[in-house]
A = this chain, B = another copy of it.
Amino acid sequence: MSAPAIKAPARQMMELLEELAAFSAPGPGVSRLLYTPEWLQGQRFLQERMAALGMEVRTDGVGNVYGRFAGSQPAAKVILTGSHIDTVLNGGKYDGAYGIAAAVTALHYLRQNFGQPLRTVEAVAFCEEEGSRFPLAYWGSGNVTGLYDGSEAQRCADSAGVTIASAMEGCGLGRRPEDCGTAAAAGYAAGRAPLREDIGTFVELHIEQGIVLEQAGLEIGIVEAIVGQRRYSVKVAGSTNHAGTTPMGLRRDALAGAAEMLLAMEQAAIAAGNPLVATCGKLEAVPGTPNVIPGEVQFTLDVRHSEADALEHFCSMLLAAFEEIAWKRGLTLQATATLATAPAPMDTGLNQQLQHIARQQGRSFRSMVSGAGHDAQLFAPVCPTAMIFVPSRAGISHAPEEYSSPDELAAGLNLLTAVLYELAYKES
């Protein structure tokens, strides 16, 4: 059996994608926020479907769902594949759900056509990745890998004041120390408690959520690394003054200062070159009245790079440039780090396998950096991890307009299925 012989049933996957999309709160697109009724119905539907396909189904304390085909070598670690089932508010039907539908379809196809695998395979639907309801992200994969130990559930609340713990309880869920294995339970006491320590490999298939593949006219992206992120909240303070009676030379205009900073940031980011990106997405000028010089501006910074050193260097350099602009203008600057994640390199060996298969399958592909965060970055420090992208039309995601064509989705499915075959069925 070689990769070209793999013919995973794309139609079955597309049907499952459509079925999942139906579990949504009202409104445009798909809205399936963590621990909402539509989320719960979606996870239950998926459990039933996995069971109907002959998988052993189980959920863990935070609501991740696993469908398993046990391997003939029970000592071998698990080959895990999947993605997250939650969406942003008014999101699309591919982000996350595609990786789940493809995982279930691929494993079922392999079981039907090639029998019991040597190594146990599992399809996973992580309960949460987006951070759209509660002020944290990767709740699903983070509990599995030990980024979280479950205690966050008591402290974290949504905008209505509902804690994760209370929302979980409403879904009949709840993570306790004894949910972990023995080693993990010890880790729980020590402050780090992965829900699972039996994962040997993780492969995630996902839409690109960017325009790189479309612009290059390529079918497949093989992710080299997921970028590290730094986020800051920056406050610039000057003097609130009358827009008519304050001559230009006597102003300490916080907004003019912020404008100079944003322009400096853009120029520095362009100069640094790909894959560095730097963005201000949110800016508020106070008091925000047309005829008053803003005395205060608060804005966000989002900086990403696939290399830790380059990320660190850029951020230090940028904040120093901001300081200089503030000083020159008689403004004060306060930059608070709000997020810092390290870059997550994917497994080189797995990526070579993926390239080899993609060539066999006649796919056009490239290696690329993922500028967005994904569940895969949580697994990268824990086990060999890989990630496959398919094109996103116009680079749009997190919107009802999110779209990848059936052919593009099928190409991703076939690559995933072939690599899972090699991982689970071939003697190593």
A interface residues (Cβ-Cβ under 8 A, vs B): 208-212, 215, 227, 229, 231, 241-250, 253, 255-256, 258-260, 262-263, 266, 269-270, 274-283, 285, 287-294, 300, 302, 304, 370-373, 395-398
Asked if B248 contacts A270 (CB within 8 A), the reply is yes
Tell me how far the C-beta of A6 lies from the nearest C-beta in chain B, rounded to whole angstroms. Answer: 28
- Complex alpha-carbon distance, A305 and B277, angstroms: 41
Question: So how many copies of this chain end up in the complex?
Answer: 2
Asked if B249 contacts A259 (CB within 8 A), the reply is no
Tell me how far the C-beta of A59 lies from the nearest C-beta in chain B, rounded to whole angstroms. Answer: 29
Asked if B263 contacts A256 (CB within 8 A), the reply is yes
Among candidates B247, B266, B288, residue contacting A275 with C-beta atoms closer than 8 Å: B247
Tell me how far the C-beta of A207 lies from the nearest C-beta in chain B, rounded to whole angstroms. Answer: 10
**Which of A245, A249, A275 neighbours the largest number of chain B CB atoms within 10 Å of its CB?**
A245
- Complex alpha-carbon distance, A285 and B275, angstroms: 25
Chain B neighbourhood of A231, CB < 8 A: 290-291
Among candidates B243, B258, B260, B279, residue contacting A302 with C-beta atoms closer than 8 Å: B243
Asked, given contacts A248-B269, A262-B256, whether A241 binds B395 with beta carbons under 8 Å apart, the answer is yes
Asked if A245 contacts B281 (CB within 8 A), the reply is no
Asked if A290 contacts B285 (CB within 8 A), the reply is no
A273: nearest chain-B partner, CB-CB:
B248
Among candidates B209, B266, B290, residue contacting A282 with C-beta atoms closer than 8 Å: B290
Chain B neighbourhood of A243, CB < 8 A: 277, 279, 281, 302, 304, 371
Asked, given contacts A209-B245, A248-B277, A281-B285, whether A290 binds B302 with beta carbons under 8 Å apart, the answer is yes
Asked, given contacts A256-B263, A293-B279, whether A210 binds B245 with beta carbons under 8 Å apart, the answer is yes
Chain B neighbourhood of A300, CB < 8 A: 290
- Complex alpha-carbon distance, A274 and B250, angstroms: 11
